[in-house]
Amino acid sequence: MSITENLKSISEELASFPKVKLIAVTKTKPIEILLEAYQAGLREFGENKVQEMLPKYEALPKDIHWHLIGHLQTNKVKYIAPFVYMIHSVDSLKLLQEIDKQGKKSNKIINCLLQIYIATEESKFGLDEQELTELLENQDFKMLKNIKIKGVMGMATNTENTELISQEFGNLKNIFEKIRQQYQGENIDFQEISMGMSGDYSLAIEQGSTMVRIGSKIFGSR
Ligand SMILES: *Cc1c(COP(=O)(O)O)cnc(C)c1O
């Protein structure tokens, strides 16, 4: 199957869910492949590494929305701040403060998602529920003006156990709803739940995902 054909079948599937946006995860793929996806109509691209996103941003049309989906180090924020559309992987106040600082330099407000730890595996990044509420209640957080918290992101356990995956996604949806009701502020605008990848996006959509991050199902295995 070609990229265009893969995209067509995924888009048909997603058409029944108007709230769900497709983020095409293009990590490790060369620029020609991204161009093909662009020509097929895609504008939302996800990369997990700053050093890979930069040359792709420079080479490709400027109406692409770039989503940083992988772990982000504080010292790399400055490279992507001028153009990044959304950072899905924010997991500390320190990182948010740096994003805010660089957003101010670029005279923009940077969209962020807070990455929540929902899996039962040890290796995944993210905040637990208590760390999340501590962050949102922190006075230093409330002062940040050049970031906007648009919602949450999470990754389920890498398992065949669909019941467990659904439970983890359902948990993220519950956290999202709780936060949306309890926390308001100038820099909070809770809209998005980024959950679901090639292997589990159908389960994520069932549980209320608004952004699915799909790589291998569009571009083939890496
Ligand atoms: C690689 C990656 C994806 C996409 O994974 P696929 O299984 O190829 O769809 C989604 N989210 C994150 C954070 C990733 O690093």
Domain extent listing, the chain: 3-219
Q: Measured from the CB, is residue 216 less than 6 Å from ligand 1?
A: yes
Query: Which structure tokens are listed for 41?
Result: 């109509």
Please give the Cα distance from 98 to 110 (Å, whole number). Answer: 11
What pLDDT was estimated at residue 54?
98
Ligand 1 atom nearest the C-alpha of 217 is 9
Q: Which residues of the chain have pLDDT under 70?
A: 123-124
Collapsing DSSP states into helix, strand and coil, what is residue 127?
A: strand
What pLDDT was estimated at residue 123?
65
What pLDDT was estimated at residue 1?
74
Ligand 1 atom nearest the C-alpha of 197 is 9
How far is ligand 1, taken at its centre, from the CA of residue 214, in Å?
6
Architecture of domain 3-219: Alpha-Beta Barrel (3.20)
Q: Measured from the CB, is residue 198 less than 6 Å from ligand 1?
A: yes
The answer to whether residues 210 and 22 touch, using CB atoms and an 8 Å cutoff, is no
Please give the Cα distance from 199 to 156 (Å, whole number). Answer: 10
Q: Which of 72, 11, 81 is nearest to 44 (CA)?
A: 11
How far is ligand 1, taken at its centre, from the CA of residue 144, in Å?
29
What pLDDT was estimated at residue 82?
98
Q: Measured from the CB, is residue 72 less than 6 Å from ligand 1?
A: no
Q: Measured from the CB, is residue 25 less than 6 Å from ligand 1?
A: yes
Out of 25, 121, 194, mutate this one to test ligand 1's pocket (max ligand atoms within 8 Å of CB): namely 25
Please give the Cα distance from 101 to 66 (Å, whole number). Answer: 19
How far is ligand 1, taken at its centre, from the CA of residue 140, in Å?
32
Q: What is the pTM of this model?
A: 0.97
What pLDDT was estimated at residue 122?
74
